[in-house]
Amino acid sequence: MKDTLNQQAEIIDRGKQVELPLNEIVHPLDIPVIFSAKDCNLTFHELDLGANDLQALAPDVVVSDTYEYHRTIVVKRDGKSMIAFCTGVDSLTPDNLPIAAIFNLTKPSRLKVLVLTRGGKRIHALENYHVPSGGLELSRLLSGNPNVEPVQIFSNRFSFFIDARD
């Protein structure tokens, strides 16, 4: 586990910390998101991904061979890496269609990053092995449709919730 944390820290340290306001729609990497936090501090770190960086950030990730993630925003809660928003392309498509996903940077079995679905009626841990995209697939949000619901991220000292209307 320490090796994973060290690898995560080395990769994230290559990037730069960016400011994103809370409680309003922002578009990191062209994904509409609303971040909110209670009794904790969220920080955001933007960086380019190298060939094996996603695997080092989230060792349990399983992604299609044609999915190439190039950019990420890592979200930390109180200094601990929680999730990574990643964007890239599907190299199998003729036009290299854009792709996006969120990956869990904690141990999924610990239920630290939870996804709300069906209007908040179902809750499950964010897992990183949903082929083809890997984690929580968000490519539909990259279409430029202004009517799309933003992803809502809420964190407190104990939990980290993602509501990405399915």
> Where are the chain's structural domains?
2-163
Q: What is the pTM of this model?
A: 0.89
Exposure of 89 in the CB half-sphere (CA atoms within 13 A): 7
Angle at 76 between CA 42 and CA 117, to 5 degrees: 85
Preceding peptide of 98 cis, ω within 30° = no
Q: Which residue has the tokens 């729609």?
A: 25
Q: Specify the DSSP element, H or E, that contains 35.
A: strand 33-37
**pLDDT given for residue 2 in this prediction:** 59
Q: Are 120 and 165 in contact (CB under 8 A)?
A: no
Sheet containing 80-90: which strands, arranged edge to edge? 16-18, 42-48, 67-77, 80-90, 97-104, 136-137
Per DSSP, 83 falls in state E
pLDDT tens figures, 105-156: 987 556 578 888 756 667 888 888 877 777 888 888 886 666 778 899 999 9
Alpha carbons 19 and 30: distance in angstroms, whole number: 15
pLDDT band at 43 (very low <50, low <70, confident <90, very high): very high
